[in-house]
Amino acid sequence: MSSFPIFNIFLVTLVLLAKSNTLEEDTVNMLVILPKDNTYMFSIDRVKPAIEYALRTVKGNDSLLPGVTFSVTYQNSDCGNTALFNLVDTAVQLQKPDVILGPVCEYAAALVARLASHWNIPMVSAGALATGFTHKAEEYTHLTRVSPAYSKMGEMFLAMFKYHQWDRAMLLYSDDKLERNCYFTIEGVHQSFKEEGYTMNVQDFDETKHVDAEGIVHSIKSEGERGQSSERILVIMCASSDTVRNIMLAAHRQGMTNCNCVFFNIELFNSSTYGNGSWKRGDKYDLEAKKAYSSLQTVTLLRSVKPEFETFSIEVKRSVQKLILNDDDYVNMFVEGFHDAIILYALAFHEILKSGLSKKDGAKVVQQMWNRTYEGIAGPVSIDANGDRYGDFSVIAMTDPEAGTQEVIGDYYGLQGRFDMRSNVKLPWGHGRLKIDYPKTDQGNTCKSCGLGESAVTGIVVGAFLGTGLLMTFYFFRKKYRITIERRNRQDDIGKHRQLREDSIRSHFSAA
């Protein structure tokens, strides 16, 4: 008699085992597609510990996805076409993934996002920050961005510009014509201003060649002199820290740091390039640079910390250190973002299973990820109704001109559209400095760029900015620059880059 129950248990176990082996529903195939190359802040080696951490968290929650396991495949995205090829190879050799994490690089992400839409697979990235991805309809329908896109940063600059009633804005950026990080960064600012009818001066330069910092500053100066003397100019830069320093030095020498100019530097991700001592190089210009940097503000992503984050950060650091990567930025925004991407997917998938649908209902899963706020590893993460994260940013400035210390002086909260000054900061505000102690002027209208019905934004895609940028530079700068620009334009026509632009991220401009 007593052998019966044991036999029954045995049978039930067998049946259960067989079931879990055959029921594919229980396994989510996740493809993580990021660069192998560890010089990228978001390489596989750097992000993997965060992904494993997040998956453990999901597994540890009995009510979230009971019985569901994740099968993760890592593939090299490089920063271009490789991403697409590896996605297709994975689909052919294994199977189509149920969810794709990455890529980060714009051109790689554009290709993958299109195929993900076509295959009805949700794609979540902590990158793909270019403005072109804001227009989700048709091409990028399945893309969710868990890091603040460049256009969100543009909204912050616009809010500051309007509040301070600055008269003019100038954009300076370096363009490598390859990955084009600064190009896309500045495009976000340009787009926000353009939507509101502001025109701005734009100047790009090639850092692989000699950058004529004196010449650049001179052109800003003569631009300022063309207008009324009371005109206040906002200068926004995106370049390597060395170039920013050279430009600031030149600005200081030409007396620009005492004029009605406000200098901003954008450095969203690499925290080793801003803050204390970013002016210091141990050369003979240090003293001058310290003075110059007292009129420079740096915009970066807001970093928040909660107790849980410490555990996460220690663990990620331990894993990454094993791989002989030694730098300070172990837990950067990308690492954090991909952790939060998994939590977001898990929450969405939970809802999907509850409503009787399956992981194959890609579009439905995507819908669940949009327009929601949830708890990420470092704090709340808010995704807008267009599937893009609201951006929180911090402004760093020199708070002690003697010592040259730099501190966060204020924070911008995208969801509320609000600036908060840090209370502990005593500011030696001088002429032409930024003061941020005000609410955004158009509060309530927090979703400016996500309304799909806005006809003004339809048709403006990545690349449109370059056209305007070149045209305006053409008008505003001296002959010296004009020649360079014409030459560059022609190079673009025949060069590899134009092909990339048209093939990878649709561009209306290049047809013009």
Token pair in block for residue 443: 């509060």
**Contact by Cβ (8 Å): 313, 331:** yes
Does 308 bind ligand NAG (CB under 6 A)? Our answer is: no
Closest distance of CB 241 from ligand NAG, Å: 5
Q: Which of 76, 120, 254, 270 binds ligand NAG (CB under 6 A)?
A: 270
Residue span binding ligand NAG (CB under 6 A) among the ranges 58-66, 119-127, 151-159, 214-222: 58-66
Q: What is the spatial distance between Cα 427 and Cα 416, in angstroms, rounded to a whole number?
A: 25
The residues near 334 (Cβ < 8 Å, ≥ 6 apart) are: 41, 42, 46, 47, 104, 126, 127, 147, 269
Does 415 bind ligand NAG (CB under 6 A)? Our answer is: no
Q: Which of 28, 31, 34, 41 binds ligand NAG (CB under 6 A)?
A: 41
Q: Which of 8, 311, 355, 405 binds ligand NAG (CB under 6 A)?
A: 405
439 forms beta bridges with: 418
DSSP 3-state assignment of 21?
A: helix
Closest distance of CB 78 from ligand NAG, Å: 16
Total residues at interface with ligand NAG (CB under 6 A) = 17
Does 68 bind ligand NAG (CB under 6 A)? Our answer is: no
Does 276 bind ligand NAG (CB under 6 A)? Our answer is: yes
Residue span binding ligand NAG (CB under 6 A) among the ranges 60-68, 152-160, 258-266, 470-478: 60-68
Does 71 bind ligand NAG (CB under 6 A)? Our answer is: no
Classify each residue of 86-111 as buried b or exposed e, where b means 16 or more C-beta atoms within 10 Å of its C-beta. bbeebeeeeebbbbbbbbbbbbbbbb
Q: Which of residues 450-469 bind ligand NAG (CB under 6 A)?
A: none
Nearest CB to ligand NAG, comparing residues 198 and 269:
269
Q: Name the H helices within 355-478.
A: 362-369, 464-476
Classify each residue of 345-384 as buried b or exposed e, where b means 16 or more C-beta atoms within 10 Å of its C-beta. bbbbbbebbeeeeebebbebbbebbbeeeeebbbbebbbb
Does 81 bind ligand NAG (CB under 6 A)? Our answer is: no
Give the CA distances from residue 476 to residues 85, 171, 224, 469, 471, in Å, rounded to whole numbers and listed in that order: 43, 13, 11, 11, 9
Nearest CB to ligand NAG, comparing residues 20 and 272:
272
Nearest CB to ligand NAG, comparing residues 189 and 450:
450
297 forms beta bridges with: 264, 397
Closest distance of CB 277 from ligand NAG, Å: 8
Q: What is the spatial distance between Cα 149 and Cα 188, in angstroms, rounded to a whole number?
A: 8
Does 321 bind ligand NAG (CB under 6 A)? Our answer is: no
Q: Which of 13, 71, 272, 355 binds ligand NAG (CB under 6 A)?
A: 272
Classify each residue of 214-233 as buried b or exposed e, where b means 16 or more C-beta atoms within 10 Å of its C-beta. eebbbbbbebbeeeeeebbb
- Nearest CA to 414 out of 127, 187, 158, 156 is that of 156
Binding mask of the shown chain, residues 363 to 392, with x at each position contacting ligand NAG by CB under 6 A? --------x-------------x-------
Binding mask of the shown chain, residues 335 to 364, with x at each position contacting ligand NAG by CB under 6 A? ---------------x--------------
Does residue 67 come out as left (phi exceeding 0), alpha (psi in the -120 to 50 range) or beta?
left
Q: Which of residues 214-253 bind ligand NAG (CB under 6 A)?
A: 241
Sites of contact with ligand NAG (CB under 6 A) = 41, 61, 63-64, 241, 270, 272-273, 275-276, 350, 371, 385, 396, 405-407
